[in-house]
Amino acid sequence: MSPERAVRPGRPPHTPLRPTWCCRTDGQPWPCGEARLVLRAEYEHNPTGLSVYLAGLMYEAMRDLYHLNPYDAPAPQALFARFLAWTRPRHHPTPTRRSCSHSS
């Protein structure tokens, strides 16, 4: 799958403009909010595949961005947050059951 798949019918595609990795449609850092929505829907039943796919693109973005400007490229932590952190499943805390202990 390619970033060009981040398209909703009837809407302009939210794909990356390389080597700057900005969205072609809204100018935001890619993956922008719209691209994330589309990617999450496309990989709804394969979250691991989404993470693997985006990890490969993160590597390409690192290479491109550091090649453009090695002194002012985004930090690896920022690129991880941008490409991968949002793909983690949302865990809702499960209420813990507490047993009551009675002391005499």
Hey, where are the domains in the chain?
17-87
Tokens standing for residue 86:
């949002």
3-state secondary structure 31-59: CCHHHHHHHHHHCCCCHHHHHHHHHHHHH
Residues 24-66: pLDDT tens digits?
A: 999 999 999 999 999 999 999 999 999 999 999 999 999 999 9
User: What value, to the nearest 5°, has the Cα angle with vertex 51 and ends 16 and 3?
Assistant: 20
> Is pLDDT of 92 > 70?
no
Say which residue, 2 or 14, is predicted with more confidence. 14
> Is pLDDT of 22 > 60?
yes
Quick one: angle between helices 47-68 and 76-83, nearest 10?
140
Entry pTM:
0.75
